[in-house]
Amino acid sequence: MPLYANAPYDYLRMEGDFIFTAGACPLDESGQVVAPGDLYAQALRAVENLIAALATAGVDADALLKTTIYVASSDRSDLARVWQAVAPHLGRAPSTLLGVAVLGYPDQLVEIEAVARAER
């Protein structure tokens, strides 16, 4: 799955063995937010985009050291729903799940950032 090529930022940066990602957003290849209003579908797309970004560095979810998941909601059940969507794909890396007021793209409800480590 190709990532949105015209994003105004790099999807990741490597410093030594460490990989730092920008927040993976629920964007399609043309930069449009997918599934407006659907937290679960957006969470799945965001995690797909995160895994695709990691693949460009030659790693997968097993390399994750830490994730932070942002959900544009103050309802804890929404946070739990997003966690149900992403947890099976992120392994057991420590993670923080936050409810926030707003995210960067119109209609965006979920964003996932991560720190990973390349294999030695």
Kindly state whether residue 19 falls inside one of the protein's structural domains: yes
CA-based nearest residue to 93, from 116, 72, 109: 116
pLDDT at 119: 77
Kindly state whether residue 7 falls inside one of the protein's structural domains: no
pLDDT at 1: 55
Kindly state whether residue 51 falls inside one of the protein's structural domains: yes
H/E stretch holding 77: helix 76-90
Write out pLDDT tens, residues 14-69.
999 999 999 999 999 999 999 999 999 999 999 999 999 999 999 999 999 999 99
| Residue 2 pLDDT grade (very low, low, confident, very high; cuts 50, 70, 90) | low
pLDDT at 77: 98
Kindly state whether residue 5 falls inside one of the protein's structural domains: no
Kindly state whether residue 74 falls inside one of the protein's structural domains: yes
The residues, ordered by sequence, that sit 6+ positions from 68 with a Cβ below 8 Å of its Cβ are 95, 96, 98, 112, 113, 114
pLDDT at 9: 84
Average pLDDT value for residue range 69-83 = 98
Q: Return the CATH number at 78.
A: 3.30.1330.40
- Strand, helix or coil for residue 91: coil
pLDDT at 6: 82
Q: How many domains are there within the chain? A: 1
Kindly state whether residue 95 falls inside one of the protein's structural domains: yes
Write out pLDDT tens, residues 84-115.
999 999 989 999 999 999 999 999 999 999 99
Domain assignment of residue 31, given as a range: 12-117
Whether the model pTM is above 0.75:
yes
Kindly state whether residue 45 falls inside one of the protein's structural domains: yes
